[in-house]
Chains A and B, each alone.
Chain A
Amino acid sequence: MSVLTESTIALSSGPVTDPGASQLLEVSMGPQHPSTHGVFRMDVSLDGEQVVKLKPVFGYLHRNHEKIAENESYLGCMPYTDRLDYICSITNNWAYALAVETLAGIKVPERAEYLRVITGELTRLQNHASLVGFLMQDMGASGTPLMYAFREREKILDLFEALTGARMMCNYMRFGGCRVDAPAGWLQQAQKVIDAFPKFLDEFESLLRTNEILMARTQGVGRVSKELAINAGLTGPMARASGVNYDLRKVDSYGIYDRFSFRVPLGEFGDVYDRYMIRLLEMRESLEILKQAMREIPAGPIMDPGTKIRGFRPKAGEAYGRIEAPKGELGFYLISDGTGNPYRFRVRPPSLINLTVLEDMCLGRNVADIVIILGSVDIVLGEVDR
């Protein structure tokens, strides 16, 4: 009955090397390393430049998010979620709001749902754009792709700022809706950004999609099989690059995602190139969603009038709410004991769990490969360590 053989689960052993042949160089990459995307550390054993052992070390950005949240009100937890995956604060807000809504059975008004989709997909755009930029940076491109990506990101951040007041830490959603309605002209402004975005994608693709160096460096590197991807709980672009058709926007259809038609790109090889391309393709799909949402967004209230934001006390119980964040499945597991503070506040961070297979991907590869493999996982330390 079992489709999984043990070998897919056990760590694949590295290539056989004679231990006496050469000495292993024990290097720790990180916590201060230009391409660990923050304070991540990998203890690497190198044979020449080949990785024979790699152990990730976490916790350099362990900010006790869960503990702090236990002493915060449900509202007070919201700004903290911004700082989880600090590149995509809005989707974090959303996941948390969704979890609280599940916990307390709150309905969200139409317009708020649309605003959530719009901001959420914009977040996905800017996350993926900066990720591919960072990935290229890891690959040694001297900043140009990253600069282009950030050029677009800034446009989206301007939108966020106009809507929520902050560039990064939006603190935008509330259980039961959104904090503020889009100001006058915002939607038009957003439309402009969305319309201009494909141009950037084209530009980016002509810069780097078919680049031979890029292809040579990424294809076949850091492969993850479909079975391993499922077993290791990979989600998001990571899983889809391995051919796992699992997109919570389709699976759970949370919010109003069942109203939009969009496609889920799937990779075949599960290597770095696939992950890179899946992200590029997902951006195009996000643009599709955005176009539809911008067309259909209704007028109306943005907050559920029945929900008390301050002094919110849900009934005792627990709930797990999850969304498809740009990095994968972002879940919040909340336990309420009926008081104003969550009894247990747990974040299921996609990037931490996506890192599970890091060693499998890196064994037997080159130092230079580790860097881009890590880059292609798309981690944000705020979320990994919380």
Chain B
Amino acid sequence: MPEIIDQIFVLLKHWLMGYVPSLLKPVVSAILSVVPVLLAFPLLFAITTVLERKGLGRMQNRYGPNRVGPFGFLQPMADGIKSLTKEDIIPRTADHLVHLLAPVVIVIASFLVYAVLPIGRNMVIANLNAGVLFFFAVGSMVELSVFMAGWSSRSKYSLLGAMRAIAQMISYEIPLVLASIVVIMAAGSLSTVTIVNLQATYTGIFPHWYVFTPWGLTGFIIFMIAATAESNRCPFDLPEGESEIIAGYYIEYSGFKFALFFLGEYLGMFATSAMAITLFLGGWAAPFSFLTWIPSYVWFFAKLLALICAFIWIRGTLPRLRMDQLMNFAWKFMLPLSLINIFAAGVWHYMPAGASRWLVVTLVIAVACVLLSRGLRRNQWFHVRTYRFAS
């Protein structure tokens, strides 16, 4: 029975496919596998915006939206209707076509990456041989669309925001890729499906998630930090740093185009989180073998939601970094650390299983961490100060 529930969508699709003339089969099958993604993630976006506003509210001793619809959950709908009916302003000096294309491209790019994300057992749109590479390749299109948005608006703030955004995104893309290399080394495949399948096995009750190794943990942390930066989330939300450059690259966007940027950004955040789950947290695999009766997609979304909550939590707490610190952190800490992590993963591979390799690898990473954070602090040595008082 659990298997049936687990596979219910797959079975449903098969059953539906039975009624489709064979000529149309590939198309219909593709549509059937795409439509759930096109529905689920925008819905998740809607839910997340409310959750975020409510969660932040709770952290700040208030309720957050609770009037619009039950518990405020119709808020995104209202926002959507409002955006839809809002006037669309394009600045006179703007580059109209590029201005229009930018939000479209960002949404497309954000959606495309979901093609390789397995959201459940046997539930993936396309099991590509080079899935992870596809993810990064398509993901990098976002940078271009951000540039398009910032540049075409022809406003100083938007351009500044776009330049910031691109600089930040390209800086964190490298650690993002390098952090995932360790998993690929262990899995021996670029296919996300294979990677998850490998993690969905258990020793005793414990699964083989890559996060449960020293290099996996390091990789996961690097990946998550880089993902935060990639999706412009606090504390890396400099491109739209309200207090500095007002709204960043989408400063001139109104109406639904603005909403599309929002959508794109959140979809990007979900996608990178989902990728982190896929690579390090076992994708749709249950955390304990005795919990496998819970459907795989539930696990996937549960993990995703947990990561989203972490994002919200961090957003509610931290101030944002400065650009130079951000860049230093990427290039002088994250990048070397992820390289060392690859090295550590290599060492792990060549050492015999046992406590010794745990020790050695952990040591390598720890030493690297300490040294690098030293180096980082040398640029700007900060400390908790004590103060004197005038008599």
Contacts and interface: CB of A to CB of B under 8 A. Distances in A.
B380 A140 contact: no
A210 B325 CA distance: 17
A371 B243 contact: yes
Nearest to B316: A144
A369 interface: yes
Contacts of A141: 234, 317-320
Contact of A367 (B59, B245, B316, B380): B245
A278 B245 CA distance: 28
A11 interface: no
Nearest to A375: B243
B246 A139 contact: no
B319 A140 contact: yes
A215 interface: yes
A137 to B, nearest CB: 7
Contacts of A207: 317
Contacts of A247: 390
Given A33-B246, A216-B380, A369 B387 contact: no
A214 interface: yes
A148 B382 contact: no
Contacts of A319: none
B302 to A, nearest CB: 25
Interface in A119-164: 136-144, 147-148, 151
B23 interface: no
A72 B234 CA distance: 50
Given A34-B243, A35-B244, A142 B325 contact: no
B92 interface: no
Contacts of B378: none
B315 A142 contact: yes
A217 B321 CA distance: 7
B385 A273 contact: yes
A27 B159 CA distance: 11
A220 B389 CA distance: 21
Contact of B390 (A140, A245, A268, A277): A245
A264 B243 contact: no
B321 A264 contact: no
Contacts of B385: 268, 273-274, 277
Given A25-B160, A216-B380, A220-B380, A140 B234 contact: yes
A143 B61 CA distance: 11
Contact of B243 (A140, A216, A220): A140
A263 B391 CA distance: 7
Contacts of A136: 319
B67 interface: no
B157 A368 contact: no
Interface residues of A, number: 53
B61 A367 contact: no
A130 B59 CA distance: 18
Contacts of B382: 212, 215-216, 219-220, 273
Interface string B357-391: 00000000000000000000000101111011110
A37 B118 CA distance: 47
A265 B60 contact: no
Given A34-B243, A140-B242, A147-B61, A281 B157 contact: no
Contacts of B242: 34-35, 140
B323 interface: yes
B285 interface: no
Contacts, number: 129
A252 interface: no
Given A144-B59, A368-B322, A27 B157 contact: yes
B82 interface: no
Nearest to A278: B387
B241 A143 contact: no
A215 B384 contact: yes
Nearest to A241: B387
B244 A367 contact: yes
A372 to B, nearest CB: 8
Nearest to A138: B243
B87 interface: no
A267 interface: yes
Nearest to B324: A366
Contacts of A209: 384
Interface in A176-218: 207-217
Contacts of B237: 140
A213 B157 contact: no
Interface in A359-377: 366-371
Contacts of B117: none
A220 B56 CA distance: 31
A43 interface: no
Interface in B71-105: none
A273 B382 CA distance: 10
Contacts of A214: 319
B246 A151 contact: no
A58 to B, nearest CB: 20
B238 interface: yes
A386 B74 CA distance: 44
A33 B321 CA distance: 19
B266 to A, nearest CB: 15
A266 interface: yes
Nearest to B234: A142
B243 A281 contact: no
Contacts of A34: 242-243, 246
Contact of B241 (A250, A263, A278, A368): A368
A370 B322 CA distance: 11
24 contacts: A25-B156, A33-B246, A49-B160, A138-B243, A140-B235, A141-B234, A143-B60, A143-B316, A207-B317, A208-B319, A213-B321, A215-B384, A216-B325, A216-B380, A267-B387, A268-B388, A277-B385, A277-B387, A366-B322, A366-B323, A367-B160, A367-B323, A368-B241, A368-B244
Given A46-B160, A141-B319, A219-B383, 15 more contacts: A26-B156, A140-B242, A140-B320, A143-B316, A144-B59, A144-B60, A213-B321, A214-B319, A216-B321, A220-B382, A273-B385, A277-B387, A368-B320, A368-B322, A368-B323
Interface of B: 56, 59-62, 156-157, 160, 164, 234-235, 237-238, 241-246, 315-325, 380, 382-385, 387-390
Kindly list the 10 A-B residue pairs having the minimum CB-CB distance in the complex, ordered from nearest.
A140-B320, A147-B60, A139-B319, A35-B243, A263-B389, A215-B382, A264-B390, A245-B390, A141-B319, A219-B382
